[in-house]
């Protein structure tokens, strides 16, 4: 069973609270710097945290790191990316739905590993956490903006389809309450001590952040301070189980080349879209790129979680 960790949760809660306060006090400033914040997060930890897959894979799949196995890994990895990229091209709406389901599971999985729970209780927290985050990405503080971004790529406007039937705030409130309510119930039934921990504040801060903050800004804060950081710590702990004695310094050194290649792709995408002057399309294509990178990453991570309990 995993140990409940709180070594970083205090800093995450404080960072989230500070981000929310800044957003409420200086909304115009946050709107101006939101893409810079996203860029910094992607550069500092977003891309690097996914660039450890080639190291994790050989430990998770228990394979020798020889030329043949490396070739198999890279061909398989790139093939998954290519197939998913083709799916986006052929059916953007299907690609989007798959991305949302992936994100729901992947974000929830990374955060749920912090709890000393197993089985059904852990899965309740995993899926409810993921549902709150994905639901509020779509229906948070500015659901009409999210709808515009999605429509740029898929041609589907969920604001036209849904908001005539139900007011946007009902969606926001429903998703905002999903994880806090499930956290309360699971804690009462399985682990009452959680209610006296910083995880209670975490459950509230994440929901409030996505409900009231500028969408791009709050996604950046969550992605960097919560998901990518927690996930990187888990992967480093996993490698340390094999006696590798790795650290964040090692992490950045060993992901540098792969990250630079990813940065180069993002730069090309940015300047290509600048010619069209469409910021919404840029955001949409950025999330498509993230989704294509995430799918093979999830396969590696799933195998890692399958044979290791991060401590």
CA distance 50 to 228: 9
Query: Cβ atoms within 10 A of the Cβ of 70, count?
Result: 15
8-37 burial, b at 16+ Cβ within 10 Å, e below that, comes to bbeebbebbeebbebbeeeeeebeeebbeb
Q: CB burial class (10 A; 0-12, 13-18, 19+) of residue 309?
A: middle
Q: Any residues with CB less than 8 A from the CB of 305 and at least 6 apart, and which?
A: 109, 113
Structure tokens at 67: 């030329």
CA distance 295 to 232: 17
164 DSSP assignment: T
- Give the residue among 286, 280, 8 at the shortest CA–CA distance from 147: 280
Q: What's the Cα-to-Cα distance from 1 to each of 17, 78, 120, rounded to whole Å?
A: 30, 34, 14
**Is 8 annotated as a binding-site member?**
no
Q: Is 294 within 8 Å of 50 (Cβ atoms)?
A: yes
**Is 231 annotated as a binding-site member?**
yes
**Is 297 annotated as a binding-site member?**
no
Residues marked as binding for Fe cation?
A: 49, 106, 227, 231
Residue positions forming the annotated binding site: 49, 106, 227, 231
């Amino acid at each position: 069973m995993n140990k409940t960790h709180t070594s970083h949760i205090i800093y995450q809660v404080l960072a989230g609270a500070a981000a929310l306060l800044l957003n409420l006090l200086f909304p115009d400033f946050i709107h101006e710097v939101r893409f810079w914040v996203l860029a910094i997060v992607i550069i500092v930890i977003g891309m690097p945290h996914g660039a450890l897959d080639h190291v994790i894979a050989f430990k998770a799949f228990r394979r020798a790191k020889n030329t043949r196995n490396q070739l198999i890994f890279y061909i398989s990895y790139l093939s998954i990316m290519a197939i998913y990229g083709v799916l986006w091209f052929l059916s953007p709406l299907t690609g989007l739905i798959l991305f949302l389901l992936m994100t729901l599971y992947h974000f929830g999985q990374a955060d749920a590993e912090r709890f000393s729970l197993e089985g059904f209780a852990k899965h309740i927290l995993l899926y409810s956490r993921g549902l709150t985050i994905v639901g509020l990405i779509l229906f948070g503080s500015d659901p009409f903006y999210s709808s515009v971004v999605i429509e740029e790529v898929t041609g589907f406007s969920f604001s036209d389809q849904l908001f005539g039937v139900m007011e946007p705030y009902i969606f926001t409130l429903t998703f905002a309450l999903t994880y806090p309510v499930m956290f309360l119930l699971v804690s009462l039934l399985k682990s009452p001590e959680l209610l006296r921990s910083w995880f209670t504040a975490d459950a509230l801060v994440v929901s409030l952040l996505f409900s009231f903050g500028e969408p791009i800004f709050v996604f950046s804060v969550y992605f960097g301070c919560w998901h990518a950081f927690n996930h990187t710590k888990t992967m480093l702990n996993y490698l340390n189980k094999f006696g590798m004695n790795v650290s964040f310094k090692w992490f950045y050194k060993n992901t540098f080349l792969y990250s630079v290649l990813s940065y180069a792709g993002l730069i090309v995408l940015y300047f290509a879209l600048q010619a069209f002057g469409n910021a919404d399309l840029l955001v949409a294509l950025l999330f498509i790129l993230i989704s294509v990178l995430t799918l093979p990453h999830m396969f590696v991570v799933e195998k890692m979680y399958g044979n290791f309990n991060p401590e």
